[in-house]
Structure 1
Amino acid sequence: MTVIGFLSNVAVTGTVAGVGVGSSTEDIYEALGNECVVDRNGKSLRLDYGIVEFALYAGCCEGVTVQAHRLVHGVVIPDALKAAFSVQSDAISFSALRAEIEAGGDYSLEERGRQFGYRSYRVVNTHVILIVVDMSAGEGDLLAPGDLWSIAVSGRS
């Protein structure tokens, strides 16, 4: 699987390695291992695997974010996901990802708006949002307008 294929799959299924909203902490550890940054605050828990983060409350996943922008910095990729990232990618072209998502005709994207230098798109009839860089690149910036920033999956829109 390619990086674009992996990200497209996340966008249309709302899952990473078979886990997503509604999954337990144990499900996530089983799918991706326990080598991650754990940030706990009361009943809230964030599991940061580098390229992907899971937000949990009372042991149940409420959100998943694929931090695609981290690829330009050589982010850590969990072993369970390394096949998708066998060819190291830098910035991800939103237009290439959109073409992959919409290729089968079952899914489409709608623009939700622009804010603070980013555009957001929703995969129609889902709780998946794609955030795309929309600001001009400054000197030394590794991302440019049209590059994917992140994919966010939540239990609500």
Structure 2
Amino acid sequence: MSALDFYVHVAVCGEVLGVGLGAGPDAWEAALGATCLDVPGGGLLRRDYGLVEINFSPDRPGRQGRMSCFGFGVKIQRLLYDRSPSTVPSPLSREYGEFAPRAPFEELRTAILALGHTVELDKHNTSSDMDCYRVSASAARIHVVADPDPYGAGDPDPDGHQGGDVWSLDVW
């Protein structure tokens, strides 16, 4: 398996190592490990594993103290500048191998299409510097760098993000 296989699975199935929307912090910890940064605030919890970031909110009334995932993201953009081993949780490295600092959108789109899904431009969530794509029958959105020099500085970082790089996969 490869990092591309991981990205395709997230985009099509909306899960990471068997956990996804609705799962509690304990389920995510069982899948990705205990090495993370918890950021509570406003009654919510953001759990940051580097490559994967999960958002939790309190469950319905009557389930005191329980939280569940209402959204998560695979933050591929972090791999370009943070190459420390802890950026990719070790369970993901064991399952999928090495994660390259870039993920070309065309490769991801081709793999998703091969599984019979469609990938459509989400015009409502696209901006001048970032395109957003929706995967059919999935809650996933793929954010792709459209303009690596959005502020017109005229000198985009040649080692930085390039047009066509996947920025993130988000499931909400």
Does TM, scored on the shorter chain, surpass 0.5? yes
Could you say which residue in structure 2 is the equivalent of 1:23?
Answer: 23
Write the letter of the residue equivalent to 1:129.
R
Give the fraction of aligned pairs with identical amino acids, expressed as a percent.
31
Larger-gyration structure (1/2): 2
Task: Give a deviation string over 1:61-118, Cα, whole Å, max 9, x none.
Answer: 000100011111215111110135523402110000111111122x111101231400
CA contact (8 A) 2:12 2:137 kept: no
Q: Provide the rounded CA distance (Å) in 2 between the counterparts of 1:94 and 1:30.
A: 30
Structure with a larger share of its residues in strand:
1
Which residue identity is paired with 1:128? A
Query: What RMSD over aligned residues (CA atoms) do the two structures have, in Å?
Result: 1.5
Residue pair 1:67, 1:150 contacting (<8 A) in 2 also: yes
Q: Is the 8 A contact 2:139 2:171 kept in 1?
A: yes
Shift of 1:12: 0.5
Within the alignment, does 1:64 sit opposite 2:72 as a pair? yes
Structure 2 residue runs without a partner (length 5+)? 59-66, 150-155
Alignment partner of 2:77: what SS? Answer: helix
> Which aligned pairs between 1:60-99 and structure 2 lie closer than 5 A?
60-73=68-81, 74=83, 76-99=87-110
- Provide the secondary structure at the position in 2 that maps to 1:10: helix
**Superposition TM-score, scaled by structure 2 size:** 0.83
Tell me, in whole angstroms, the C-alpha distance in 2 between the residues paired with 1:117 and 1:72. 18
**TM superposition outliers: structure 1 runs of 4+ over 2 Å:** 83-88
Task: Provide the residue aligned with 1:39 in structure 2.
Answer: 39
Aligned to 2:141: 129
TM-score when scaled to structure 1?
0.91
2:119 is the counterpart of 1:119? no
8 Å CA contact 1:133–1:143 kept in 2: the answer is yes
Structure 1 residue ranges without an equivalent (≥5): none
Partner of 2:3: 3
Alpha-carbon separation, structure 1, partners of 2:157 and 2:49? 29
Query: SS of the residue aligned with 1:92?
Result: coil
1:14 and 1:87 map into 2 onto residues whose CA distance is 21
Distance in 1 separating the partners of 2:99 and 2:69: 28
Contact preservation (8 Å) 1:93, 1:146: yes
- Tell me the SS of whatever aligns to 2:45: strand
